[in-house]
């Protein structure tokens, strides 16, 4: 058994104490769909989430501090290598942060829950936006659309005013400014690789009194990536994420309650390739050069 104290496991991440002020955050190859964790892991998914987060944190370092100490296994605390095979490429040593109780979502296109609300009410998170948008249509400017962090079930979309009530107006203003700037930086870089970032979710917290970027950043799990060549308003483009898993499950007749059906090997392979392609296209680096 590892000497590191396990303190939390989510659908994807496992977190361990790594000292008084630090944590070892491990991105697993687990994948969930419809709030159920599936049995089959997606090869290299954890490495992609880790490598991509580290890439973006370096790209955004001038905008805000972040929680990353190191992704180099040589810097990890004793006992990390007892946690399982492949941990080296899936772990980050990070600083502890006082996390904000909201998800900081930025949308540049109307899709997902935002499209459902807009098509019904003409609003996004209660805000009036431009008329005449179609599904996947581009907004005139990026919107900061926060949500709650649900301990059970789904996060709940909230208005900016509700976010102000939760964390204070000054902090909410800082979150909005930082997240939109980070999103716009990401959009510009992704465009060069032929990828649209339709929306993304940031997690922010305070480290040493400074608002900092934490957790995963601009990954296929926290963002909606579309091939620019496939984008067309009125249609839902393919995405660089677990769409093959969702599509297969939808067609399988599964009632979306545990236990889930077993994924065919070709769905696992296709999903793994989508994650890998997102990282390699955007970063310009091969995943083979990342730690294992």
Domains parsed from the chain with CATH numbers: 1-96 (3.30.200.20), 99-230 (3.30.470.20)
Q: Does the structure show a pLDDT above 50 at 1?
A: no
Express each pLDDT in 242-291 by its tens digit.
999 999 999 999 999 999 999 999 999 999 999 999 999 999 999 999 99
Taking Cα atoms as reference points, which of 135, 131, 117, 138 lies closest to residue 235? 135
Express each pLDDT in 12-34 by its tens digit.
999 999 988 999 999 999 999 99
Total Cβ atoms within 10 A of residue 24? 26
Q: pTM, whole model, 2 decimals? A: 0.95
Q: What is the dihedral of CA 178, 183, 185, 191, to 10 degrees?
A: -170
Per-residue pLDDT, averaged over 121-126, amounts to 94
Q: Does the structure show a pLDDT above 80 at 154?
A: no
Q: What pLDDT was estimated at residue 202?
A: 98
CA-CA distance, 215 to 195, in Å (whole number)? 22
Check residue 255 and give left, alpha or beta (phi > 0: left; psi -120 to 50: alpha): alpha
Q: What pLDDT was estimated at residue 151?
A: 64
Q: pLDDT-derived band of residue 155, with 50, 70 and 90 as boundaries? A: confident
Instruction: Please give the share of the chain, as a percent, with pLDDT higher than 70.
Output: 98
Question: How big is the chain by its Cα radius of gyration, in Å?
Answer: 19
Q: Does the structure show a pLDDT above 80 at 150?
A: no
86 vs 30, residue with greater confidence: 30
Least confident of 153-157, 169-173, 230-234: 153-157
Label residues 64-80 b or e (16+ Cβ within 10 Å = b): bbbbbbebeeeebeeeb
DSSP-assigned states of every residue in 83-142: S-TTHHHHEEEEE--EE-SEEEEEEEE--HHHHHHHHHHSEETTEE--SS--TTPEEEEE
Q: What pLDDT was estimated at residue 2?
A: 61
Q: What is the largest CA-CA distance in the chain?
A: 58
Q: What pLDDT was estimated at residue 3?
A: 76
Half-sphere exposure of 217 (CA within 13 A, CB side): 27
Per-residue pLDDT, averaged over 105-119, amounts to 96
Q: Does the structure show a pLDDT above 50 at 180?
A: yes
3-state secondary structure (DSSP) of residue 207:
strand
* Mean pLDDT across the chain: 95
């Amino acid at each position: 058994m590892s000497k590191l104290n396990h303190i939390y496991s989510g659908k994807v991440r496992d977190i361990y104490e790594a000292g008084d002020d630090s944590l070892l955050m491990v991105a697993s190859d687990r994948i969930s769909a419809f709030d159920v964790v599936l049995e089959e892991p997606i090869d290299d998914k954890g490495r992609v989430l880790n490598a991509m987060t580290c890439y973006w944190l370096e790209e955004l370092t001038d905008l805000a501090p972040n929680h990353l100490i190191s992704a180099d296994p040589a810097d990890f605390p004793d006992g990390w290598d007892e946690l399982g095979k492949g941990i080296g490429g899936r772990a980050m040593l990070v600083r502890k942060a006082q996390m904000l109780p909201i998800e900081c979502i930025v949308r540049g296109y109307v899709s997902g829950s935002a499209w459902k609300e807009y098509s019904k009410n003409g609003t996004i998170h209660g805000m009036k936006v431009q008329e005449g948008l179609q599904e996947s249509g581009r907004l005139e400017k990026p919107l900061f659309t926060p949500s709650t962090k649900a301990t059970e079930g789904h996060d709940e979309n909230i208005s900016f005013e509700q976010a102000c009530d939760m964390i204070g107006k000054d902090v909410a203003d800082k979150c909005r400014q930082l997240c939109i700037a980070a999103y716009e930086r990401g959009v510009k870089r992704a465009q060069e690789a032929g990828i649209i970032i339709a929306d993304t979710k940031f997690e922010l917290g305070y480290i040493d009194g400074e608002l900092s970027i934490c957790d995963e950043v601009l990954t296929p799990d926290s963002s909606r990536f579309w091939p620019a060549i496939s984008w067309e308003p009125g249609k839902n483009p393919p995405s660089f994420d677990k769409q093959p898993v969702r599509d297969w499950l939808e067609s399988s007749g599964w009632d979306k309650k545990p236990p889930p059906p077993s994924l065919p090997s070709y769905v696992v392979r296709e999903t793994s390739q989508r994650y890998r392609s997102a990282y390699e296209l955007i970063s310009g680096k091969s995943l083979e050069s990342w730690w294992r």
